[in-house]
Chain A
């Protein structure tokens, strides 16, 4: 009995270790923001993975998986042990271990833009004997408007643009977000080296409607990029207070949102 219990626990531990693998992150998508109707180019670097040194690699990609369920396979996921030619990456000339793959969401997943939320992929050998870990989810820019608690206006901005951040409490789903008395929004700006631009901003909120709050800023008005650098990303979260059991104010925040800044001309 004891042995069976140890064996079960070992299997569970192994399973947990396997599922806690670091996602495969060594890839870029061009353009960085895309809808399900846009053709995108995925460039992967398999250095340091089981596929390092392979001349031919294949994609295995799926859409809309949430918590391990609901995945929709792409049309190139025909057979794990025998990848088709349509799933083959193109080698980047002069760059061993680097490969490119072009896809359009609506075509490869055979879904409408409204049905596609995000996708993931992994890189594998033809027979599936070697593979990378799964990538994190890659979001499609929506083609249909979906109301959300946190909204930015305009939806895509550059480092010199006026950015308005909205908190629509009527669309809050967690108890803290529903109950909070909104006070501020924290904004942290990052440059193209990944370095923070400085002390995060704490912007005061303005009530602009029923349960609707707003703050605004211009990245380059608050910070100056270093020589030869530019701002490429910022994160924001709304903060507020709720009352605890003793009626004392407790600070709570929404989850932070990452925003990629576009390079404008």
Chain B
């Protein structure tokens, strides 16, 4: 009788032990195609200028919204894709001050699945834009950051935050 009880407990313990396996999770929908989300034509809707040194020192007057100083709304940025991969870009400044030193060329990203940086290239010139967030169905805005660093001291002096809409 004791043997039967022992074997039953052993069987149940074994059953519990083998039952404690992690469940495999099924994928939730399809993976976001962030490069496609970035691609297409964008219009500049907001420009913010940050004095990085003043911000670092805790001074007042560190950030200014400069959207209304110039006709930034006339600036259009287009990222083209070829076979789903980044290819060419164009920037039509309109009557706005240029936001980069190049207005056409090729673009690429640092990570095709989860890009953080967009690189714009024309000949020997390469300019970087840092992505603030991916456009999606909830927030359709493209947010990028362009930094200005002092060559002499290598200090970050100015940050421009650009917000684009379709």
A contact set with B: CB distance below 8 Å: 30-34, 38, 143-145, 151, 153-158, 160-162, 164, 216, 218, 221, 262-265
Contacts and interface: CB of A to CB of B under 8 A. Distances in A.
A264 B152 CA distance: 8
A153 B61 contact: yes
A160 B49 contact: no
B151 A263 contact: yes
Interface in B20-36: none
B64 A262 contact: no
A155 B153 contact: no
15 contacts: A154-B50, A154-B51, A155-B51, A156-B150, A158-B148, A160-B98, A160-B101, A164-B69, A216-B69, A218-B97, A262-B150, A262-B152, A262-B157, A264-B150, A264-B157
Contacts of A161: 148, 158
Contacts of A162: 49, 66, 69-70, 97
Contacts of A31: 150, 152-153
Interface residues of B, number: 26
Given A154-B54, A161-B148, A218-B97, A38 B158 contact: no
B54 A155 contact: yes
Interface string B145-166: 0001111110001100000000
B70 to A, nearest CB: 8
A108 to B, nearest CB: 19
A94 to B, nearest CB: 23
A156 B53 contact: yes
A153 B64 contact: yes
Among A34, A153, A218, the one with the most B-chain Cβ atoms within 10 Å of its Cβ is A153
Interface in B41-96: 49-54, 57-61, 64, 66, 69-70
Given A154-B49, A263-B150, 15 more contacts: A30-B152, A143-B57, A144-B57, A145-B57, A153-B64, A154-B50, A155-B51, A160-B97, A162-B49, A162-B70, A164-B66, A164-B69, A221-B97, A264-B149, A265-B148
Contacts of A153: 49, 51, 61, 64
Contacts of A145: 54, 57-60
Nearest to B154: A265
B64 A164 contact: yes
A2 B50 CA distance: 68
A153 B151 CA distance: 19
A216 B72 CA distance: 15
Nearest to A151: B61
Nearest to B51: A154
Contact of B148 (A30, A164, A264): A264
A225 to B, nearest CB: 13
Contact of B158 (A34, A154, A218): A154
Given A151-B61, A157-B158, A216-B69, A265 B51 contact: no
A216 to B, nearest CB: 5
A264 B147 CA distance: 9
Closest 9 pairs between A and B when the two form their complex, measured CB to CB: A154-B51, A31-B152, A145-B59, A263-B151, A264-B148, A262-B150, A31-B153, A156-B157, A218-B97
Contacts of A164: 64, 66, 69
A218 B101 CA distance: 14
